[in-house]
Amino acid sequence: MIISFSLVLLLGIVLVVMIRGGSMKWGPAIVAILFGFSLASTGAADPIRDFLESVSNSIGSFDNNINSSGR
């Protein structure tokens, strides 16, 4: 749950920066947000969530390996 909230926060910040920087306009941003909400209610939500969880677990184990090696 914490990772998904962090990911949502990170993606939200990236979206705001892209809009403010001019690389993305408000129209496409709203379409992307609505697409995300509609995608979350489909059968594709579980595989995407599983993929993101496996990536975050891999990053966490990589971080643990680095910390345990004493570097």
Count of domains forming the chain:
1
User: Band of the pLDDT at 49, cuts 50, 70, 90?
Assistant: confident
Q: Where is pLDDT greater, at 62 or 20?
A: 20
**Boundaries of domain holding 50:** 4-69
CA dihedral of residues 22, 27, 33, 38 (deg, nearest 10): -150
| Rounded CA Rg of the chain | 16
User: Per-residue pLDDT for 57 more than 60?
Assistant: yes
Closest CA to 36 of 4, 1, 2, 71: 4
Mean pLDDT (whole number) for 55-63: 81
Q: Is the pTM of this model over 0.85?
A: no
Q: 3-state DSSP call for residue 57?
A: helix
C-alpha distances in angstroms, 19 versus 8, 28, 30, 63?
16, 10, 11, 32
Mean pLDDT (whole number) for 44-50: 86
